[in-house]
Chains A and B, each alone.
Chain A
Amino acid sequence: MAVEAPTRPGSVPAHAPTAADLERLGTYPHLVVSWIDDAGYPISVATTFEADSDAGMVTLAPPAGMPIPADREVGLIGSHIRPQPGIGYDERRYLELWGRVSGGRTFTPARAWGWDETEVPFFEYSERSVPQSRRYLAALSQEKGRTIRPRLSPFWLALRTTRLPFLSATAVPVLLGIAVAASHGAFTWWTALLTLIGGSFAHLAINVSNDVFDTLSGADEANTTPTQFSGGSRVAVYDLVTVGGLARLSFALFGVAAAIGLLLVAVTGSIELLWIGVAGIVIGVAYTAPPLKLVYRGLGEIAVALGFGPIMLLGAYVVQTGELAWEPMVLSLVPGILIALILYVNEIPDRRSDAEAGKRTLPVRLSPDTVRTGYLVAALAAFAIIVAGVIGGLFPWPLLIALAAVPIVLRVHGGLKVHYDSPYTLMAVMGTNVNLNLVAGGLLLVGYVAVIVASFIGG
């Protein structure tokens, strides 16, 4: 018997059978043996059996009156589910072997394939099968003489394509920049609103443009373990939207963001704001776009820290005040670091496909222990900046309330220890890490609101 092993036990690709396959086959209570009958129809029937992994053979109990032919290929399959009343079923697994039968009962396998959802989760199995879906739909389009593509409703397609839920990453620094300005006595509601809208359009534009370049580079295609937090929108991988459509959408979103930015520059008369906006768009596009491709060079985390830190927060501050200042500059490092850490943790499940696509992200370059330690050091550094800023008199003391978010750092760090190698169980950790930015940012906002209220009360 051939001993070529599949790349992972329980994985989908067909392979030469191994002793492990026969041991696995032995765990099924019965098998279904199948062949093509003389009329050309498949015939399949349950049978009992004994699998001998050492000899590489399976002894079948021949079904009465149905001799298993020796002159053609025979299939054997063991399958399992666990019924879940009121739900359906789970614990899906199956193993199919092909080979020849001699003496009416001795089966010698030549090829095997199978799936066990406890070893290859359903979502990963589905992602591995995306090319088959594309092939089928392409052939179906040809057969029917019209284009047949997968679809989603416009609402869900828009949400998925732009990755709308990630806008919280923009809201935190922009609102903080506005709050710092308000604590300094500068606040105009409509420019604040425009800042939030413009920043959001820029963020969505960058999301979409990143998908364009990650699709073209093959990074998204290579990723078979995407999660709701990682792996891109995948709308082009799934052929829900063409790459050209994504590019046009990205240009449109950038156009709106740029128009709002230029309006704000005109209103404030701040040349600094113009440069901040230009830098934001350049960094956002260069994140995945050639020639810089920052994320491919291990600079993605720094790019995100700059974009969602100084550029968003300081930009929002400048819109309100028309000038730069140290307080928002230093404060911007906090959301900058925490949002970069969202990317950093979300890159962990993508690290294998990123490496294949040449994306040298930090989780690709560093050992798991170093990645985990790096997370802890960087996250605690963000909170140390708050403490140092308060001690140094740069920040108002109510910002110390944000330290209440430190336990979340420890929870994420602990989760990374346990779930580092499991993309799907890591999702909960990634969600907690997203919440860290929201909670810390929200608490910083509470601190500034307290300062603003106190200044009103104090006259």
Chain B
Amino acid sequence: MGWLPDPVERLLEVALVGELTVVGRNGRPVTHPLIPLYDGERIYLHSSTLFSKKLEHLKRDNRVSLALTDPVAMKGNPDRATIQGTAEVIDDDPHSEWERLILDLWRVKEPAIDDFLKMRVALPLFFERAVIAITPERCLYWAGGGTDRAPEAFSAPRQEVA
């Protein structure tokens, strides 16, 4: 199972949006607001091939950070966290593999997705998707959310990083 501290897991379980930052083409940080999903071990984000530049960046450099910062998107929880880790892009079958991997987790946070899926004919490319599976390596946590105070820092147990 995962090693992230409980308060961070609670943020991941409710967050409707998190800011994924990847290393862009010129080495600059590029940030994408995405809906984070969590299975207790890895963090999953996902992307349509329509908006797949982030996937291209990740295939060049798989190091990422995910910031959980918006209390409005986290059921009013003011805590904040930043998780660094490495990402695996899963896109062997963009048509249906994501459904098997993350649809159950997705529909918990965004129930309307089932209605959109019924209209797949209207949005065919939106549902050609890749999954971004993040293995957390380090975590910074701000209880109460104030980043004017130094965060608590956590690291993955050594064997899990390997």
Contact = CB atoms under 8 A, between A and B. Distances in A.
Decide if A and B are genuine partners: yes
Contact of A132 (B53, B61, B65, B110): B53
Nearest to A235: B124
Given A34-B67, A40-B63, A133-B52, 8 more contacts: A34-B31, A73-B27, A75-B29, A79-B17, A88-B111, A89-B16, A148-B93, A151-B128
B52 A136 contact: yes
A433 to B, nearest CB: 20
Interface string B4-20: 00000000000011010
30 contacts: A32-B21, A32-B31, A41-B63, A41-B84, A42-B21, A42-B63, A42-B84, A43-B84, A44-B21, A44-B67, A45-B67, A45-B140, A45-B147, A73-B26, A74-B29, A75-B21, A77-B19, A79-B70, A81-B16, A83-B72, A83-B73, A88-B16, A89-B110, A92-B33, A126-B123, A133-B125, A136-B52, A137-B94, A156-B121, A159-B121
A75 B28 CA distance: 8
A77 B95 CA distance: 31
A96 B30 CA distance: 8
Interface string B28-46: 1111010000000000000
B107 to A, nearest CB: 9
Nearest to B49: A133
Contacts of B23: 36, 40, 42
B17 A132 contact: no
Given A40-B63, A75-B30, A148-B94, A133 B50 contact: yes
B162 interface: no
Contact of B109 (A88, A130, A151): A88
A228 interface: yes
B50 A126 contact: yes
Contacts of A34: 19, 21, 29, 31, 65, 67
A63 interface: yes
A356 to B, nearest CB: 21
A228 B33 contact: no
Nearest to A111: B28
A77 B17 CA distance: 13
A88 B112 contact: yes
Contact of B50 (A86, A129, A152, A240): A129
B29 A61 contact: no
A419 interface: no
B125 A46 contact: no
Contacts of B135: none
Contact of B29 (A35, A63, A65, A150): A35
Interface in A102-148: 123, 126, 129-130, 132-133, 136-137, 139-140, 144, 148
Contacts of A43: 21, 65, 82, 84
B160 interface: no
A65 B150 contact: yes
B65 A44 contact: yes
Contacts of A87: 110-112
A150 B128 contact: yes
B158 to A, nearest CB: 16
Contact of B151 (A41, A65, A140): A65
A64 interface: yes
B48 interface: yes
A160 B125 CA distance: 14
Contacts of B92: 144
Contacts of B28: 36, 73, 75, 98
A64 B31 contact: no
Nearest to A28: B70
B136 to A, nearest CB: 12
Contact of B125 (A65, A73, A238): A238
B91 A32 contact: no
Contact of A79 (B33, B61, B66, B140): B33
A46 B80 contact: yes
A41 B138 CA distance: 11
A264 B95 CA distance: 44
A94 interface: yes
Contact of A151 (B95, B148, B150): B95
